[in-house]
Amino acid sequence: MTPSIDAYRHVRDATLRLVDGLGDADMTPQSAEFASPAKWHLAHTTWFFEQFVLAAHGTGYRRFDERFGFLFNSYYNAVGARHERPRRGLLTRPTLQDVLAYRAHVDHAMADFLGARVPSEVGDLVELGLHHEQQHQELILTDLLHLFAQNPLRPGVRATLPAVPTDASPAPAWIEFEGGNIEVGHGGLGFAFDNEGPRHVVALRSFRLASRPVTNREWLAFVEAGGYADPQLWLSDGWDTVQAQRWQAPLYWETADDGTRLQMTLGGLLPLALDAPVSHVSFFEADAYARWAGKRLPTEFEWELAARDLPIEGGFVEQGAGRPRPASSGSGLSQMFGDVWEWTASPYVAYPGFRTAPGAVGEYNGKFMNGQYVLRGGSCASPRSHLRATYRNFFQPGQRWQFSGLRLAEDA
């Protein structure tokens, strides 16, 4: 299905609202090799439409700048050479003003393109480009948070964030699910990435899932019990990472001189919200915590079974939350979507029958099916319309700059 020009503009305008009030100085630096400058994200998502839609299928389109393909290609080897990822923060030119002009140039051409008859397969490319941009909307926020956390002033990306209630959350309930041969993966109508299919059957044992994610208060107990100092809780690579990186708490946790726990957020350095879901933990940390708690992480298929009939409700980027909401006190499953991505025990691998698409677009997901783990559900930095129960996010097990948390599971 070909998106309307209104749908196209809705996504593109949402990206610009995320960086409203930020200047070239905020949007050019790169804080780590795994992150990218916000300015680069604005240009790369624009290049996607220029490269795969306008240049390939448009009539009479003229590129804004022939050099931008080299600068803003991310990992598409079939397209050609590209600027090295670790050096993206050195791109002081083009300026932010130039990048915004690039976006306007492509948006104008896309308006003309979408106003004409578009073949269905090209419409599918446009829809892929919009979901690709929504992924980068989340990356813009998480990369800016990582960048601003390096500043001793601990400035906020956003001026204010909603207040977080301080009432303690009750212990989670345990919701049981019957096992059996279960169909998983995307099927039917609606957009999905290629890695969400083909739909297939998996055998599951009966299991129980915690009604809510693990909270900061619960994680603090793990910290104070010496969880980061006990090698018996950790996978071998995880323990090596703890030692090498000197982890003692989740990313962005700090301790004030008076012992108060603080956390760097999109609103700056704030008191730790004890009853919000813990965030910015790696797979290694999530796995160690689950072992310490006498539980385990759910598999991605257990998570999908539990979530597939639930409405997509939670804390999302559209609400301007910018950090996870407090954990729910209800007895049923809550916060399965939004607030924090939830690590699963499942490695990121291909489903039976998966085949990569031909051409450069086939590099989108398939070539990353190695050495990574699946997360489900979305976060407070995710657009709501981008999420569904079959969505598979994936990161390397030591990465924790995303809004990543966990929910516990156990055998029934």
| 183 and 127 assigned to the same domain | no
State which of 149, 184, 205 marks the end of a domain. Answer: 149
Q: How many domains does the chain have?
A: 2
Measured between alpha carbons, how far is 258 from 82 in angstroms, rounded to an integer? 49
Same domain, 184 and 70: no
Q: Are the beta carbons of 407 and 174 closer than 8 angstroms?
A: no
Identify whether residues 127 and 196 lie together within a single domain. no
Q: Do 278 and 321 share a domain, yes or no?
A: yes
Do 240 and 135 have their domain in common? no
Give dist(CA 43, CA 101) in Å, integer. 10
- The pLDDT tens digits of the residues spanning 285-295 come to 999 999 999 99
In tens, the pLDDT along 361-406 reads 776 777 889 999 999 999 999 999 999 999 999 999 999 999 999 9
- pLDDT tens, position by position, 90-125: 999 999 999 999 999 999 999 999 999 999 999 999
Query: Quick one: 247 and 385 in the same domain?
Result: yes
Residue 11, in any domain of the structure = yes
CATH number where 52 lies: 1.20.120
Domain boundary at 114, 149, 184, which?
149
CATH of the domain at 250: 3.90.1580.10
Same domain, 181 and 143: no
Q: Do 31 and 76 belong to one domain?
A: yes
Main-chain phi, psi angles of 40, to 5 degrees: -65, -40
Claim to verify: residue 233 and residue 281 sit in the same structural domain: yes
Regarding whether 229 and 341 lie in a shared domain, the answer is yes
Q: Is residue 163 part of a domain?
A: no
**Domain limits for position 48:** 5-149
Model confidence at 160, pLDDT cuts 50, 70, 90, reads: low
- The confidence band for 163, taking pLDDT boundaries of 50, 70 and 90, is low
Query: What pLDDT score was predicted for residue 170?
Result: 82
**Residue 104 domain-assigned?**
yes
- 169 inside domain: no
Mean pLDDT, the chain, whole residue set: 94
Using pLDDT thresholds of 50, 70 and 90, give the confidence band for residue 329. Answer: low
> Contact 328/374 with Cβ under 8 angstroms?
no
249 sits in the region (left: phi over 0; alpha: psi -120 to 50; else beta) called beta
The C-alpha R_g of the chain, in whole angstroms, comes to 21
Tell me how far apart the alpha carbons of residues 185 and 205 are, in angstroms, rounded to a whole number. 18
Answer whether residue 48 shows pLDDT above 80. Answer: yes
The model's confidence at residue 60, banded by pLDDT at 50, 70 and 90, is very high
Q: Are residues 251 and 386 in the same domain?
A: yes
358 domain-assigned: yes
Q: pLDDT value at position 325?
A: 83
